[in-house]
Structure 1
Amino acid sequence: MPTPWSRRGFVKATGGAAAALGLPATASATVLTTSEPAHAASGAPASSAAFESLRATWRGLILGSGFSPTAEPFASKLARLGRDAAAWRTTMVPAPGSLWPGMMWLDPDPDTDTESYTYSAQIQLTFQRLRSMAEAYAQPATGLTGDDAFARDVVAGIRHVVTDVYHAGRARYGNWYNWQIGGPHALLDAATILYEHLDADLIATITEAVRAFVPDSAVASYTGTSTGANRVDLCRTIALSGLVGEDADRLALASRALSPVFPYVTSGDGLYRDGSFVQHTWVPYAGSYGADLFTGLSLLCALLADSPWEITDPARENYFDAVERAWAPFLYNGLCMDAVSGRAVARGLPPGDPGGANDDHLRGHSIIASIVALGRAASPEQNARWRALAKGWIQRAYFSPPHTNPMLGVYKLAQLQSVVDDAAVKPLPEPVAHRLFPSQDRAVHRRRGWAACLSMASDRIAHYEWGNGENLRGYHTGAGWLSWWGDDFANEQYAQTFWATVDPNRLPGITASRKRLADGQGGQWGAERPAVQWVGGTTDGTYAAVGQHLKGLASTLEARKSWFFLDEGIVCLGAGVTATDGEAVDTVIDNRRLGPTGTQALTVDGRRKPGAQGWTETLSDPGWAHIAGHGGYVFPAGGRITALREERTGRWSDIRTGSSTAPLTDRYLTLYVDHGIDPVDGAYAYVLLPGASAARTAAHAASTRGLLRTLANTSRAQGVHAPSLGVTAVNFWAAGTVGDLTVSAPCSVLIRHRADGTAVVCVSDPTRTLTTLTVTWRRRTTAVVSRPATVEQAVPGSTLTVTFGDLTAEAGATQKITVRTA
């Protein structure tokens, strides 16, 4: 019998990822022709028994299996499903324009586009409620299990909706997603679950409606709203309509139309070779649309396996490889880092579930469950490793157990339970590594005891995304936002109420003007991007140098920011901080959420500071600071640091239209550099030490010159040398010399000495514009052990000279040269 989860057994997860919204994409169009896919049978003969077998498979996939309905969390979840379904049955009143009072889907003369969106959303919500009712009929222990009279009432509700509004001939209005993905997914799930209760006329009405709103032409070209996660969701709609209508051609089309999703892309929506995943052309989205894609792909692969329409395109392996290259790097202790979740971070209280929340933990769990599900279509070796990864994330997910998560469906809970209960699965630990994602301007650094994620923006990646009234104040999430978590502490930092209460101008790590921005400043859907190219860096896989030429959103602010990711911490340098907006500019060293009653101590140079709310003080030339329960900060160049304690009240409705207006309060402790009004060539330097004790922070400050030396911090170059690690790293904003390094053009360089007498010289072109580059290292080398094809010449000797050819096609990727040192 399945065993209950322990307190540390799980974190919360969201069951529904981001709803796709209608916006143009710039992905290259790929027209699907009948000659394209050799892997899917078109019009393959199939008996009704064969279709019923597939419907049974789908019911098993979306309802789950192998769980005990009397064990928690299943018993409570099933009981609640039954109670909700019974209440919906009682309140269902079919009427023109609605099935439930207060959930209108028709308005003869909507006043605004927003109103039209609201009415179209009610169609989806109505279908989702009917789908949940169908699940209550099919699941055990709901109190409605197998109740045929109840099933007939649900079918009557379906009939009313497809007669009144969702039918062929109806002109679409509002949000396209509600008509093509969200609504029909729920409708077709319900129809599949209750298939034996549907008559031929109703089946025809349903399938004709879906074909009208999602015709074959919806996947005829790979462009617009038919790319990436949206394309997978559209294929799911088409496949399910084939199941319900027993249409072999629709199943073949769904299988065939997935093929354009699988190849790597070099721009726009999709998966990149470096592991980046982008949706809406400019937005890193592995945590939201990517979760949707993984869910849909795992379900479709499992549904069509061993059928005439099996998905056998060899390029699908790119997404299997992406489990560890694109998704796992952003999962930590079960949470999914917000830097790749776009506007989904603003969904604090999902409509219809006032007790729930959508945060990094909830999204993480949904992705983990999808990874487990995808394993069914992967190789035995991949499946075994993914289950081991999942078990590790589950066991370390101490903060927010998923059995309390209202958003995770029974079938996903069952998938995770299967991993927990499998004694043969040994959990894998978090890796110690650095992953740089040049194609989405993100970096992830992992060390024993902590992990960090950096979020930037460039002419390739948006400052932030807002749309459909969501994420109205996310303006500065691409301005160098540096988030971090501990292995067994601070995992709640960006969860729960963070986005509703944090000062949007003081996200951790950013440099930003205090200029007041309008809600939704800039274009929708990530249209607003800074006109900069030098964003990225270089890494040897353990350490990294990352930089950002920063230009502020709707301001004149400009700066050069660098982060050097090392063992104990992250060295953060800034230079050239300049603005002419008549506003002050801040660099936020950190902004820790302490909770609604938090009083964590701040210690500066051994002296404890006041704990009263509203306290602020400018610290003159501090050596170090420490926040109890969080970590330490070292200031190698001193300077003037402002400390602030404040209690902030916000509402989810502040950042998402239509969300809860209930006030929420959190306390924050902020450390920042005030560069003043209209700064000219301002600078900063600090070292972040996640999880360090006050004593360790003080010791690090006392020995900084032995452990770390700043080589440069100007608008032409920023660099550090860490003798104990054998690491020298420099971000060159222009051609020049720093220490023993000279470069002929802007680039990023990291050199690491190794114990075997070799050194790895890591070089990248973050601008993606260089057709030639020469790097000179004034260090004696005896041989070049290895070099990439981009190196035209590498000459060892008393000075190492490396000449690169055209780097524009490398997309900012690190080029590694291994040399033997004297």
Structure 2
Amino acid sequence: MRMTRRALLSIVPAATLSAVAPPQRAWSQAPREATPAEAAEDQATLIGNTVAVLAGTADSNARPEVAAKLAAIASTAKARLAALDGAGSGELFRGLPLGSSDTNLTTSFQYLYEIALATRAPGGAAPGGDTAVQRRVIDGLVRLHDDYYGDQSKGYYGNWFNWEIGISSHLTRTLVLLKDELTAYRPDLTAICVASMDAYLRNGKAGDVDLDSRFHTGANLADITTNRILQGAVLGDEARITKAVADQLTVLASIDPYHLSHNVTDGFYADGSFIQHASVAYTGSYGKGLLTRMVQAVKILEGTGYAQGQDRVGAVREWVVRGFAPLVFEGWMMEIVKGRGVSRATTTGYTDVAEVVEAVVDLSGYAAGADATALKSYVKFVRQNSRATLDPARFLSPVSVARYADILADTGIPAKDLNPAERHVAFNAMDKTVHRRPGYAFALARSSPRISKYEYMNGENLMPWFQGDGAHYLYLSGQDQTQAFGVDYFTTVSPYRLAGVTAPVETRRTVPELYGGLWYDNPERGFTSSSESQNTYVYFPRGAGGLSGGACLGAYGAAGLVQADDVAYAAQQAGTLPDDFVAYRNARATKSWFMLDDEIVVLAAGVGDPAGRAVTTTLDSRVSRVSRVPQSADTVTLTGRLRDGTPWSGTGTAPLAWLRYADADQDTAVGYVFLDGWRPTVALETVTRSRRAVRVSNPDTMVTKQVFSVSVEQPAGASLTSMAYALVPNASERQLMAYTGGPVYVLANTVRVQAVRHKGLGLIAVNAFTPGHHHAGHLSVDGPASVILREGRDGTVSVAVADPTTERDTVSVVIRGRALRAGSADEGVRVDRVPGGTRIRVATRHAYGRSFTATLRGRRRAEG
């Protein structure tokens, strides 16, 4: 979606405007004209740049800060050579039998690359002598190709990604690193291997990229085109390089959902959202990979004619500021954008951010002026605020390690976040919301007919069913997030009791339990491992209906969700799926989240189940360490007050006015204020479970956690008209007691409209879910719509209006009893007076859920 500068200003905090609102760019690539000599020189530069990226340079590798990275390269190569020496029958490397496992074949190519890398690292210690070792690698390539890869009729089993991207990435890099020795020892091998890689690009067109293929999008397209650029360089194939560069540039364009190019929805959107697999919010996994690959492209194309006329740096910098920075809290990547990656024991949110940091380090070396300083300052900020020590030896490039050391040592660079201290970001294009304040960050996962409820694939994220149904993650400052979230959160917290989720009381079975394999296998009905039917109904089903979206006014936000079934259940009920396909029915709820300063106010209405099952609504779930010292006191304490003012401490069901959870081990606390009269259930239990419960390939590691939950339990057949509560991060008991009689008031809480007023902020927030006029306070809202109004002490009134359906042409709001005039307004906003008040009309057509703002002026409204 292309946005005017004025429209962009309305949704981006002022502190980051200079970094996120550059002029619009055209990403078409003019045909390159170069003489054979110029092309040969550029290709040599490209190869030299790539070797420097992977293996470092003499200058970088002489730095003492890079010694650990070089040692890691050498140690890895030594281990791979030992595995090569110890291989048995049917193996190239010990423990990796070949012939039926695409993963083992990919790993074997990876091991050869890792050995080759050690032979090209200046200052490294390649075991066995460079030439001899390089020829062993080449012999290994020959064997893998001749026995297990070169015959396409025997290949392409398992995951398509390994054949089109994984193997090609390792093999292509090896061809680059060993180009000179290949020329001397096996001059025919490079062309043979590239021809085989082309033959395996079966989702392409004639062995090349096909921009109309659903497999050649986003991060996958960046990987494939980078491989083809490098293949062209080692072959001296000018046409291959220029075509791959042009194809790669397409990923830099923001996705316009109303004018899709090649029908592709994968990529970055104007609001900073990133989507992969057509409907999965994926900034923290595939988006991270795309960022890394595009920064690497900047580095390998530097100094060549292939980079002329491009501003990759400016485009990628926008991704960092708008797409990544809001999702990184104290060095941790938030769970809401990691898809199936949340179940992996091999990585954490801290290691995810380390990859982002390396990309930002390198990007800062190509940015200029204030942009370069801001990126370097962000690197320092993440380093200073992360609870995990970032190990630069894990960076891909030794050059990046040296550049990182330079940034940290530069006393002229301040440590500064790319986020302002208070920020609200509505990633409506991917149905996610992030709310940040000093001391905490709140992340909310929604879903819709546009965005998947969850992602399951390849035995990863086995129990994901409710992760897009309003699940939230409350990150607290100073906390080690590996103790609060990550794989152990999903391992020990019941999938039916994720924080924020309303779920039916039932037992669901995982895909392997249902079908005896990692996917639903029914080729006759179009279900194969990577088919569109598999994607739509098994791997990442979208919501079947309802509303998801919200408004943003400065650093304040409102979000709404009408919980519904997913498309798999809807299709099953319509009789369009096979009889043995299993789909699960969801519970129902209409929910709002009003995100303020000290609290997040949550309203729910119409909570129940059409099938009459019992329903659990979990207000929050948190995990903590269990003391390893026998007879030691628990680190978690629970205190509270009943509605009659009586002190309360313990678990069970009680008429609570407020509850405080405190974890002494992490020095954190969360308060819960119950704004109406229902009785929550409080539980604190010790849970032990294997990490394999959430991912079949995780180590069988048993995890023990204290699991806290506060929930509302509805018996079978019951319907809950409404509930209202507030999450209060870092709350003290005194602060919680102050909520009696204010400052938060519920104005409406039905399936039609939900609204709150915060007297201290002078703020009213409304979510209208159904058509018609809805009244809340002195607002009348033409629904469906999301509206936030805030009155300033100087008489100004600021208003934000959004269409959470993304389908309306206009939305109108009337401020009753006020005669106001427009001070400033976004393009598309019209303000006029009507009998009894002031009307704001907003042209929301093709706005894709973004907020429109206006500032109005008039006499200050009397409080009351």
TM-score (normalizing by structure 2): 0.82
**Alignment of structure 1 residues 27-426 onto 2, 5 Å:** 37-38=29-30, 40-41=32-33, 45-46=37-38, 50-64=42-56, 75-92=67-84, 97-107=90-100, 119-139=101-121, 140-142=123-125, 144=127, 147-167=130-150, 169=152, 171-199=155-183, 200-214=187-201, 217-267=207-257, 268-310=265-307, 312-313=309-310, 317-348=314-345, 357-397=346-386, 399-403=387-391, 413-426=401-414
Residue pair 1:44, 1:308 contacting (<8 A) in 2 also: no
State the distance in 2 between where 1:43 and 1:527 align.
Answer: 48
How far 1:358 moved relative to its partner?
A: 0.8
2:583 matches 1:601: no
Residue 502 (structure 2) aligns with: 511
Please state if 1:727 is matched with 2:763.
Answer: yes
Q: Return the alpha-carbon distance in structure 2 between the equivalents of residues 165 and 796 of structure 1.
A: 76
Q: CA RMSD in A?
A: 2.8
| 2:454 and 2:464 in contact (8 A); partners too | yes
Which one of the candidate residues 806, 816, 819 is aligned to 2:853? 816
Q: Which amino acid aligns with 1:642?
A: T
Deviates further, 730-739 or 488-497: 488-497
Partner-residue secondary structure (3-state), 2:96: coil
Q: Distance in 2 between matches of 1:563 and 1:210?
A: 49
Distance 1:581 1:803, change over 3 A: same
Q: Name the count of aligned residue pairs.
A: 758
- Mapped contact 1:564–1:571 kept (Cα < 8 A): yes
In the alignment, is the contact (CA less than 8 A) between 2:273 and 2:427 conserved in 1?
yes
Pair 1:392–1:44, CA change in 2 (3 A): farther
2:733 is the counterpart of 1:741: no
- Following the alignment from structure 2 to structure 1, what is the Cα–Cα distance between the partners of residues 166 and 555? 42
TM-score where L is the length of structure 1:
0.86
Match of 1:676 among 715, 721, 725: 715
- Greater shift, 154-163 or 386-395, is seen at 154-163
**Relative to structure 1, is the Cα distance of residues 682 and 719 closer, same or farther in structure 2, using a 3 angstrom cutoff?**
same
The residue aligned with 2:593 is 563
| Contact 1:626–1:632 (Cα < 8 Å) also in 2 | yes
Letter in 2 for 1:102: G
**Which residue is equivalent to 1:8?**
none
Equivalences for 1:348-747 in 2 at 5 Å?
Answer: 348=345, 357-397=346-386, 399-403=387-391, 413-429=401-417, 430-431=419-420, 432-492=422-482, 493-495=484-486, 497-520=488-511, 524=535, 526-552=539-565, 554-597=584-627, 599-605=635-641, 607=647, 609-610=649-650, 616-628=651-663, 629-699=668-738, 701-702=739-740, 705-734=741-770, 735=772, 736-747=774-785
Q: 1:544-588 deviations in whole A, cap 9, x for unaligned?
A: 111111125522411111111101121111111020334321221
Q: How many percent of aligned residue pairs carry the same amino acid?
A: 28
Distance change (3 Å), C-alpha of 1:44 and 1:539: farther
- Do 1:604 and 1:622's aligned partners in 2 also have CA atoms closer than 8 Å? yes
Query: 1:775: how far off?
Result: 1.4
1:157 maps to a residue whose letter is G
Measured in 2, the distance between the counterparts of 1:737 and 1:144 equals 76
Deviates more, 1:335-344 or 1:382-391: 382-391
- Give the Cα–Cα distance (whole angstroms) in 2 for the partners of residues 580 and 185 of structure 1: 50
Query: Is 2:782–2:811's contact at 8 Å kept on the other side of the alignment?
Result: yes
What is the SS of the residue equivalent to 1:766? Answer: coil
Secondary structure, counterpart of 2:462 in structure 1: coil
Shift of 1:759: 1.1
**Quick one: distance in 2 between partners of 1:320 and 1:311?**
18
Compute the displacement of 1:80 (Å): 4.4
CA distance in 2, matches of 1:317, 1:183: 31
Call closer, same or farther: CA 1:602–1:64 in 2, change over 3 Å.
Answer: farther
Render the CA deviation track for 1:582-612: whole Å, top value 9, x for unaligned.
43212212111102436311112285735xx
Q: Distance in 1 between matches of 2:393 and 2:652?
A: 41
8 Å Cα contact 2:60/2:399 also seen in 1: no
Tell me how far apart the structure 2 counterparts of residues 249 and 503 of structure 1 sit (CA, whole Å): 54
1:763 aligns with 2:801: yes
3-state SS in 1 of match to 2:441: strand
User: What residue is the counterpart of 2:839 in the other structure?
Assistant: 801
Q: Label 1:338 to 1:272 Cα distance change in 2 as closer, same or farther (>3 A).
A: same
Tell me by how many angstroms 1:819 deviates: 0.7
* Distance (whole Å) between structure 2 residues aligned to residue 134 and residue 312 of structure 1: 34
Q: Secondary structure at the match of 2:284?
A: coil
Distance 1:208 1:160 in 2: 16
> For 1:548 and 1:529, how far apart are their aligned partners in 2?
14
State whether residues 61 and 70 of structure 2, in contact with CA within 8 Å, keep that contact through their aligned partners in structure 1: no
Structure 2 vs 1, CA of residues 645 and 68 (structure 1 numbering), >3 Å: closer, same or farther?
farther
Residues 456 and 540 in structure 2, CA contact (< 8 A), matched pair in contact too = no
What stretches of structure 2 of length at least 5 have no aligned partner?
Answer: 1-26, 258-264, 515-519, 521-533, 567-583, 628-633, 860-864
Q: Structure 1 residues 591-600 or 684-693, which shifts more?
A: 591-600
Aligned partners of 2:602 and 2:725 also within 8 Å = yes
Q: Deviations over 1:513-536 (max 9, x none)?
A: 222222149964654222224211
Closer/same/farther in 2, CA of residues 379 and 679 from structure 1, 3 Å limit: farther
Distance 1:411 1:621, change over 3 A: same
Q: Distance in 1 between matches of 2:393 and 2:598?
A: 34
Once the two structures are superposed, the pairs formed by residues 3-18 of structure 1 within 5 Å of their partners are none
For the 8 Å contact 2:103–2:162, the answer to whether it is kept is: yes
Q: Once the 2 structures are TM-superposed, how far is the Cα of residue 706 of structure 1 from its aligned partner?
A: 3.5
Q: Could you tell me whether the CA contact under 8 Å between 1:41 and 1:308 is conserved in 2?
A: no
The correspondence for 1:778, drawn from 816, 819, 823, is 816
- Report the CA distance shift for 1:209/1:418 in structure 2 as closer, same or farther (over 3 A): farther
Structure 1 alignment gaps of length 5 or more:
1-34, 108-118, 349-356, 611-615
Task: Determine helix, strand or coil for the equivalent of 1:83.
Answer: helix
2:342/2:486 contact within 8 Å kept: no
Amino acid at match of 2:389: P
Mark the CA change 1:490 to 1:683 in structure 2 (over 3 Å): closer, same or farther.
farther
Matched letter for residue 85 of structure 1: A
Residues 619-628 or 507-516, more deviating: 619-628
Q: Show CA shifts across 1:51-99 (max 9, x none).
A: 3332221111123466667857x54554344334223213315777531
Give distance in 1, aligned partners of 2:748 and 2:328.
34
Q: CA deviation at 1:327?
A: 1.4
Cα separation, 1, equivalents of 2:459 and 2:648 = 43
Q: Deviations over 1:642-684 (max 9, x none)?
A: 1111222222322223332232222211111213323324422
Distance 1:733 1:191 in 2: 58
Distance 1:719 1:464, change over 3 A: same
Which deviations, in whole Å up to 9, do the C-alpha atoms of 1:242-293 show, x marking residues without a partner? 1222222221122111132222223421211111111111111111100111
